[in-house]
Structure formats: structure tokens, C-alpha cells
Amino acid sequence: MTFIIRSLIPLRIAHHPGVVLEVFVMNDDQDTDDQGNSSPVVQSNNRCAPSRGVRGADNNPAHMRHQRQRLPSTSTCQCRQVTQQYEKVQQRMQQLDQAVQDSREQTQVIHEQAQYQMDEILSQLQRLDQQSQNTLQQHELLKKQIRNVEKVSQCQDRSSPERIRQDTPHAFGQFLHAQYCVQAVLAKPPQKLPIPRLFILLPVPTAIVDGQGESQLQFRLYFLCECGAHTTAKDCCELHEVHLANHPGYDLINQDEFINKYGPYLLAMMYMIKFGAKSRGLVVPPLLRLNNAIGDGGSLDQVVDDTISHLKDATRCIDGDTKAQQYLDVTGLAELKSHLKIKDGEDFSGGLSRMKTQNAHYPWICRDHLREYYELTLQELKCNINNSRGVWSGNEIKVNVASDEMVKTLYDNLSELFRIQSVENWQSITGIDLKVDSHQTVSDSTTDILGSDVFDSMSLDFDRLTMSAKNISRGELKDVTISIRDLGALRLEDMEFVHQCRPITLAISKALQEKDDNRLVSILQRSLSITSLRIECEMKRFTAVIDLVKSTRLKLLQTEDKPALRILELVHPEIKVKVSFEKGSTSLDVETRIKMENCRHHVVDPALYTFVRQYGWSVTSLDVPDSFSDRLAKLLDESIQEKGSSMAHIGITPTSLTTPGLDAISRIINQSQGLTHFRLSLTNLNDGNQKDKALLLLGRHKDRLTDLLLNCGGVDQWLPQIARAFPERGGFPVLEKFVVECGRLSTLDADSRQWIVSMVSAQTQTLIPVKAFGVKCSDFWSNGFEALINAIDLSTLEELYLKNENFSHDQLKLLVDRVANYGAPSVPLRLLHINGEKLDNNADTQGLIVSLREKVPEIKITGMKA
């Protein structure tokens, strides 16, 4: 690599020890540049230098000449290229220098702007600091004034009123006196006082002249409306102020005696309205609004001052007199009425009504403010109900609430509304049905809702429990029913709510578990008002729950507060137990109803055997299908033989019974003297054993049989035999329901058809007439239907079941004509079932149905499109 050196600046190669440079200077005969100047040449051989640096070979002239001869002919061209590159580098450096200069100028501008903003911030901070100093000074001044007032107030508590009057300016002393008096009067919350407690005296607009011709100032008493924060709507910015009631006032019977008795209190009230006051949400503006009392043209200041002067002179009171600090008690207010002139039939309330607040206070409020607050609350309630997609129909509210916040809002609305509604008897809501989807605890406002005396009915649904009351009188809940879905899911607040409602009926809809027994005991111990307890229960826990309730009731009977529990009901899909307790006694009666129509074939819950073994004597209703077994029949028989039978209803299908079971059921029937309903369902009669059972049971108990169902195909194999065994209707003296269902291809002989007709025909007065009859037999419709229809006793028949797919239009016409000829509407028929799938639903058929409905308006027709 060869370099042309154009500068006298020595090359610094100290940092390039690995490069050996050969430097020489050209003579006049050497190569020159464009200007004729010679250029020193520096040659690099790119080889490692010896340890002694660049000295040595470079100092050899011969070597230099040899190197000169090695210079390429293109050195001038390379020099130009390097020069151009160098110039470009210089140009780029100038551009960078300019960019740096521009950046410095921008930085300077930014710095100047930041400095200006900092100066502005410091200036604002100084102004804020000055304002803070001024505020602190004002605050200190206010604190000093407050301390002065507190000192005066403390003096009122510890020093004599005379000391206060002497140590304070006259006007300020009167102001403090008024404030102290209003606190003394209003510090005690208003109770259920007989009349309003705030009243003043004002001169009668027209002067009255006595008999001596001397003018004497006469006064009249006016009540004040105690409106304030408790009558101001939530969204209202302007607080209600105490004002004069809209009433002409009351004249005094004996003015001097009245002022002598109530003067100090009246003086305190006059100071209160002169200077104004504020206490417990009540704002008393200075001088109130007295124009309606003093008339036109009067001076409020002068009227009040004259009254104060007169009261001070008459009672010889001075400002701050301790007598003026007293407030009237119930006795004093009760006697106030005797000093006033009241017209006959006039309401002694000065145009005010007593209102109950959320804090259970009872201020006296004017009707205008009550009406305004009532309407605002009513409108807010309607909006909230609409937002919850509720329904306000007539006087009843039904709303489904899903938000805890909305629950509380509705409670508060209702609570406010009912307090005002009860005052003026504004009957806008008489029933409420409130459902809460969320797991909201019972709100504190619920107490006000429950205590309202404007409801006729109420229903509250809290998801875990429901409460309904259908008889509410004077704010007292009666006939309260509480239904608990899951006793184990209740909260402590829910348990307290149950206690507050004093329920008459309590129901637990989810099967009671053993772990929840303690909760049930707790409810029974606290809610002594419960007279009826209904519990969904597994069959295996029946005896345990009965024993639990019995023992709890027995312990309560030994205390002063006697339990009102009379009825305990245990409910299961197949068995229902009713335990009746005698008032104030440990004795009880048990009534059990067993209905096993929903159980599977030949499957009986083993727990049923356990219960029947102990309480079989209590069974009053037994309704079992073909799963009725010999074991169950024997257990019932043994229990009845020991303690007697309470059986009043028996319905059995004896398909599974053998001879021992049949004998046991016969003994049960014979022991049941109170049996009023006996239903016997005989099926599968083609089987010889089943036919023999039927003949046996009919022979033994036909005189007590009320319902008989014969159901089996191949009727020709068994019906003739039954008809021959019991040919007379008189053999079934109490039979009320008779149903025969045969196979589609069955045929009846003449004797069998005649037997069926005779069983439903009109009989003598000694027999109970058949009230329900049904027949399903294809052969019957073609060979004996007309005789059957003509024989039916329509004077007693209430239900008629005609089950045949071939039922025709002509047969329907026979029935309608029979009803018409009998003398409708004396026919008691209320249910007609026609299984006529092939019955043409044409105009003629519809005409017959319409005609039948006209003759028997209460009839219900099923089984066909009518």
C-alpha cells in the first residue's frame, strides 16, 4: 500500500507497530503533481517490523532507490481518489458540525421554555402559599370564635344564666339563649305525644278592647310543622324548614292563666323563631313565615318582639331563665287542650299529622309536606319497580329482584311509603309479592314493612325462604306462613327473620337431614307461635323426626311460655303422617295416609315396614297397587289388633296377596268400624287364582264396597261367573263407582250385559246410587248401548266414562237425547269422557256437543275434540 504525503505534519505510527513505512522525498526529476510540486512518497510493505521499530532498512539509500523503481505508474490516480474521499469526509464533518450547532440551539430554546414554566410554577406556588396562609388565619379566627362560643355554652352548663347574661352582649346572649332552649326542647326525640310539642303565641291581628276601655293585647296559639331531613327526598337539594302550620290557630280560654303556666316554654319558642335554630335535622329559619298569622301590613320583627316583651313582663322572666329551658312532658301537653277554645268535632292537631320516621320518632308534619314526600317516594318506587321489570297491578306489587342493592332500595322505598301511607290512610298498596333472586340477607327496613298496617296480603321471597301473610290488621302480621327450601342453607339473619315474623305455619320443603335437627329445635324453641309444622322427610327418618318434635315440645311445656304447636306433618311421595298435639298436654294423635301408586311393581321401601310396625294403628288411608304384599298386610293387622283401627279409606289391588295376606286384609276391614271408602281393583281375572281372590273378597266385603273396578281381557271367561255369584244390585248397597274394562275382542252374553245395566240403573231408596260409571267393551256398543243409556240413573250420575274407539255419532245422539228427555238442567253430570277416535268431528257432532253443554252448563267433556 502506497501513501502520498502532502503535509509536513509527521506521521504518527506508534499505534501501528505492525506496519513498516518507507519514506523518501522526490528530487526535481521526480514525479510532480498537477501544480508541479513534488510529493513525498510513503510506502508500506505490510510486513512485520523488527523489534527495533522502523529504523534499519529505511536508512539505506540503495534500498530507497530500489523502492522508487518499484512505484507503480498509477500512483497519481490513486492520490486523486484518496483526495476526493478526504474531501467527502471533510464535507460530512461540516454537516455534522452544523447539525450539532442546530441541536445546541434547540436545546437552548427548550431550556429557556422550561425555565419560563418553572418560573410560572414557582409564582403559582407562592400565590397558593399566600392563600394557604390567609386560610389558616381565617381558620384560627373561626377556632377562636368557636372556643368563645364553647366557653359560653360551658358556662350555661356550669354557671348561672344570670352570669351568661352579664358576660355577653345583649343580642348575642339572646341568641345563645335561643340556641340553648331549642337544644333543650329538641334534644329528646319526639315520642308518641298526644299533640304537637312545638307551638308559639302571636298577637291576634285585630286588637281587642276590654270593658274598661283599655286596650289589652290578645294572643292566639299556633303549632309548628316539624319537617326536616326526615321529609326531604334523597335527590332534593333544599332541606325542608320548620314553619307555621296551615291553621288559623286556637284562641285561649284564660290567657293570663295559660301564660303563667306555659310562659317560660313559650318564651323559649319565641326566641327560637326570632333568631333561628338548627338541631337533629330540623332547621328553624329566623322569623319563619308568619304572614298568614299576623295579616297584611304587619312587621314580623315587631310582632315577635312584642310577644317576647309581653311574655317576659307577664312571667317576670329574664333572658336565660332556667324555667325557660324546660320542655313540656306528656302530662303538660295533655293538659294543653283544656286551655284552648276548640269547636265541636274539630281535630286538635293544628292541621298536622304524626309521622313515624326510620328512627322510630314521631314528629308532627303538615299535610302538604307529607303529600309531597309521599308522592316523590311513590314515584321513586314506581321507577325502581320498572327498572326491575316488576308489575304494579292495581293495589298489588309483583317484582323479581336480582341485585342486593336494588333489594335494599325497594325496601327503603316501601318503608318510607308505608310510614307516610299509614299517617293519612292513603291506600295505594294493599298487597306485595316480592321475589329476590340473589342470596340477600333480610334488610333492616323489612321490620318497617312487616309492621305496616296498610297491607291486606304480603309475600316475600328470599330464595332460601319465603314469607306470606294474608291477614294483616293494624300492623300486626297474622296467618304468617314461612316456607324454608333448605334448612341447612339458612343464615343467622334468616333464623332471626323467622323469629321476628312470628309464623303460624312453617314448612321445610327439602328433605330434613339429621345434621339439621339442631336448627329445627332452635326454631321451635324461639318461634312459639308456630301452630303447624310441615316437613319433607325421607321415610327412614319419620320416627326420628316425630320423636324429636315430641321431646322438644315436652321441654317447652315445662317452661312459662307454652308452645302453640298443634300439627306436625311429615311428607313423602308415598306416605304422609299428621301428628296432632292436644293444647297444653303431652298427649297426641297420629294420622297416616299411605298412597303407593307411584312405587314400582313389587318394590316397597323397607323403611315403610319399620314405620308400619310402630305406627300402623295410625293409618287412616291405605291406597296400594299390586305391590301390596302379605308382609305389609300382616304388620298392619298386628298393629290394629293391638291398638285398634283408624282406617277410613282402603284402596287395594290384591294381585300379590296370598291366602295369609287376604285373611289379614279381611281382619283389617272388619276391625275398621269407621271405614267409609273401600275400593277394590280386580285385574288379570283370566288367571284362576286371581278370579278366586275376586270371588273371595267380593263375597266377604261386597256390603262395604264403594268402588269396584273389573279390568281384564277375555271377559267371557270370568264376568259371567261373577254375575251369577252376585246377581243383585242390592248385594252392593254402598257401591258408588263401577267400572268394567274388557279386551277389544271380548264378547258379552245377554246375562252379563243385563248385569252391567242393572248395576247402574235406578234403584230403590235403600241403596246408594252409582255416581260414577265406566265401560270399555267393544261388543257392548253394538248389542246393548241403547238399553244401557236408557237405564242409567241420570238423577245421581256425576261421571260417565264411555271408552270405545268405535263410538259413533248415533250413539252420541242417543246420549244427548236421553239427557234432554230427562229434564236438564237437573242432571248432575259434570264429567263425560268419550274415547271416540273414529267419531267424525263434523258440524253435526259439534252441534250435539253444543246442545249438551246448553243442557248441562257445568259439564266437562274429555277424550275427544269438542
How does residue 804 score in pLDDT terms, banded at 50, 70 and 90? confident
Residue, of 36 and 844, whose pLDDT is higher: 844
Given a cut of 50, whether residue 53 has pLDDT beyond it is: no
Mean pLDDT, the chain, as a whole number?
76
Q: What is the mean pLDDT of residues 539-550?
A: 94
Report which DSSP code applies to 503: -
d(CA 44, CA 42): 7
- pLDDT, tens only, 439-492: 444 455 555 555 555 556 777 777 788 888 776 655 566 778 999 999 998 888
- pLDDT, tens only, 612-636: 999 999 999 999 888 888 999 999 9
Looking at residue 390, what is its pLDDT? 80
- pLDDT, tens only, 668-690: 999 999 999 999 999 888 888 88
Given a cut of 90, whether residue 116 has pLDDT beyond it is: no
d(CA 299, CA 321): 27
| 738 DSSP β-pair partners | 708, 773
d(CA 819, CA 403): 60
Looking at residue 233, what is its pLDDT? 63
Question: Pairing state of beta strands 831-834 and 799-802?
Answer: parallel
Q: What is the mean pLDDT of residues 795-823?
A: 83
**8 A C-beta contact, residue 283 and residue 241:** yes
Cell reading at 450: 312487616
**Bond from prior residue into 825 cis (ω within 30 degrees of 0):** yes
Angle between helix 843-855 and 809-822 (nearest 10): 20
- pLDDT, tens only, 24-43: 444 444 444 444 444 444 44
Given a cut of 60, whether residue 1 has pLDDT beyond it is: no
Q: How far is CA 571 from CA 112, 512, 522, 804, in A?
A: 91, 11, 21, 39
Looking at residue 101, what is its pLDDT? 83
Cell reading at 33: 503533481
Which segment of 48-57, 78-87, 344-353, 521-530 scores lowest on mean pLDDT? 48-57
Distance of CA 439 to the CA centre of its chain: 9
d(CA 857, CA 802): 20
Given a cut of 70, whether residue 55 has pLDDT beyond it is: no
Q: What is the mean pLDDT of residues 402-407?
A: 69
Report which DSSP code applies to 440: P
